[in-house]
Structure 1
Amino acid sequence: MAESNFVDYVKIHCKSGHGGAGSAHLRREKFIPKGGPDGGDGGRGGHVILEGSRHKWTLLHLKYQKHIKAGHGGPGGGQLKSGADGEDVILEVPLGTVVRDAETGNFLFEITAHGEQKILMKGGRGGLGNDHFKSSTFQTPRFAQPGEEGEEGWKIFELKVLADVGLVGFPSAGKSTLLSVVSAAKPKIADYPFTTLTPNLGIVSHRQENSFVMADIPGIIEGAHEGKGLGLRFLRHIERNPALLFLVPADSDNHLKEYKILLNELEKYNPELLDKQRFLAISKADLLDDELMSEISDELKGIPHLFFSSVTGLNVTKLKDKIWEILNN
């Protein structure tokens, strides 16, 4: 997905349709001058509906649709004719879309399955025709109900990437390179911070017919939970990953400190992220000899870890085995 076309946040004003008014019609025919009430009900106002689509990867198609309006219900007619329902508006969104109320920030719902539909704004009910109000003592009601007004308000759509494992690390830790090696994804790769500005997904094949989805997400920096760097835009996406693979490069000045900073940023943003399955991998291991690996292992004593190199392929298969083990634990 092109970086310029990846949109994971939009704010939209949505308005459902008003219900149609009920009819106060009185039956009038040539030989029946006083036939009584025969007004039909008004139609329902149109809903604003969200539908999950596996064919959508971003919210780009909604970025410039700032106002969404559903159709109004039609009025009822004589001879007990009901008004037409207002036209629904169905907005397709990618899987992993979370909807919040813009005014209160309250969570409303999330879309996680292809074809799943949820009503965002319910259309107003149509008014009842005068036929509903007749009785033995009140045979000619000359009134009917007006239709209910629809709902309106600003809503926030946030996309949280759905993947089995998310890559967590500082910029230039080797996340994009790893994804390009183990999958067919082609993320932008360069030796400078924030090469990756948007999430990239890759399907990783493992041991014949097995596979899992890996997400390369923009690099984290110290203070990300406060919005520094790509901050909250990054952290939002790893909430949906059941497993996290931490990457610390071999040429780091302090591997343990870097790992703890990453853990701290996740905890400050959302403590529940630390409940996820996680594993530490030391990337760019082609820069190390056996003695340096041993020194780093001593530094990381008690923390399960693995050395690998995307360049030479060192332990890449072992790393996939470990991820598969974690996902199926």
Structure 2
Amino acid sequence: MPQGSNFVDYVKVCCRSGRGGAGSAHLHRDKFTAKGGPDGGDGGRGGHIIVRGNTQLWTLLHLKYRKHVIAEDGQPGGSALKHGANGKDEVLEVPLGTVARRADTGEILFDITENGETKVLTAGGRGGLGNWHFKSPTQQTPRFAQPGEAGKEEWIILELKVLADVGLVGFPNAGKSTLLSVVSAAKPEVADYPFTTLVPNLGIVAHRDNKSFVMADIPGIIEGASQGKGLGHRFLRHIERNSVLLFMIPADTNRTIAEEYGILLNELIAFNPELKDKPRILAITKSDLLDDELEREMEAEVPEGIPHVFISAVSGRHIQQLKDLIWKTIID
């Protein structure tokens, strides 16, 4: 089974909420009352389709093959002012970071960022009013009631954007998976060929004094990713939700540090201009390959104004210094 075959970050579902129950047009009758007044109850609300955040989920796989979500209709009202039962709601559990939008217009409806947070995705129809609502001095025995309101049917897109404190940004083979495997308990696949990482990997990184933060290793960028090349948009949308971006450039790059950093930054901004405002850190990886003179030369190539550190995930060089820098950036 290829890596990532169970990671699903995009589903399109047809949501149909329940119709509201009809109001009752009943007139009160019993052995003592031959011509009583209206006592028809209201119809019940149609079932909603609701989205709820769940920290136990990290993929939309469970919704991949569920193309239609249908909520129950509300029940009609009864005599003696009995209210019809509401239709049963359909609840879709989703991982945190899920965005809901309309398929036809692309309009974003809401996003789910907290465990247990619930939002109504498609509202059920309102129940009809019973005839007792329509009683008046001039119309004491109304023989009509409202029908229930129709439910809605619409295609909805649910899209996952990974939530993490730190997102790793770099070309394939920049050492992102290796770093994550060293600083956390995550076990991403690590190999020396492009696109080893096909899906985001999350790891919890322990820091000083029992503090911790979440790091996301996200598939590598290639030039043109913002136009959808390579893993393109599928990768870039996961970067949007990270608090801090950790740019990773290997010491054995064929370009200068500034050139490679500039390409990475341009791809992010081309995809979403707001990403330029996120805090950024630079890690020059595989620095165990450098002697002091080479490191000084590369230090001069680092763009001004960006905090940076030379690291080696293999030897452990400056890993604690990097974690300190990340933590300081997060809390700032």
Q: TM-score range by the shorter chain?
A: over 0.9
Q: d(CA) in 1 for partners of 2:129 and 2:276? A: 55
2:118 pairs with 1:133: no
CA RMSD of aligned residues (A): 1.0
Whether the 8 Å CA contact 2:280–2:307 is kept in 1: the answer is no
Matches within 5 A, 1:173-322: 173-254=174-255, 255-300=257-302, 302=304, 303-322=306-325
Q: d(CA) in 2 for partners of 1:210 and 1:7? A: 30
What SS class does the counterpart of residue 242 from structure 1 fall into? strand
Structure 1 spans left out of the alignment, 5+ residues? none
Structure 2 spans left out of the alignment, 5+ residues? none
Shift of 1:3: 1.5
Q: d(CA) in 2 for partners of 1:326 and 1:278? A: 8
Deviations 1:96-124 (A, max 9, x none): 11111110001110000111111111111
One-letter code of the match for 2:146?
Q
Q: d(CA) in 2 for partners of 1:159 and 1:70? A: 23
Q: d(CA) in 2 for partners of 1:272 and 1:63? A: 30
Deviations 1:68-127 (A, max 9, x none): 011100001111111110000111111111111110001110000111111111111100
Deviations 1:249-304 (A, max 9, x none): 11101122111100100110111101111011111111111111111112225254
One-letter code of the match for 2:213?
F
Please say which of residues 299-308 and 72-81 is displaced more in the overlay.
299-308
Shift of 1:305: 2.1
2:75 pairs with 1:79: no
1:109 is matched with: 110
Q: d(CA) in 1 for partners of 2:273 and 2:32? A: 78
Q: d(CA) in 1 for partners of 2:198 and 2:303? A: 33
Please say which of residues 90-99 and 289-298 is displaced more in the overlay.
289-298
Shift of 1:208: 3.1
Whether the 8 Å CA contact 2:258–2:303 is kept in 1: the answer is no
1:326 is matched with: 329
Deviations 1:183-207 (A, max 9, x none): 0000011100000000000010111
Shift of 1:148: 0.4
What SS class does the counterpart of residue 164 from structure 1 fall into? strand
Q: How many residues align?
A: 328
- Residue identity (%): 69
What SS class does the counterpart of residue 3 from structure 1 fall into? coil
Deviations 1:139-177 (A, max 9, x none): 111111000011220011111111001000001100000
One-letter code of the match for 2:127?
G
Q: d(CA) in 2 for partners of 1:23 and 1:210? A: 60
Q: d(CA) in 2 for partners of 1:275 and 1:31? A: 77
Whether the 8 Å CA contact 2:52–2:112 is kept in 1: the answer is yes
Please say which of residues 306-315 and 175-184 is displaced more in the overlay.
306-315
Q: d(CA) in 1 for partners of 2:177 and 2:209? A: 24
One-letter code of the match for 1:33?
A
Q: d(CA) in 1 for partners of 2:13 and 2:192? A: 37
Q: d(CA) in 2 for partners of 1:132 and 1:265? A: 61
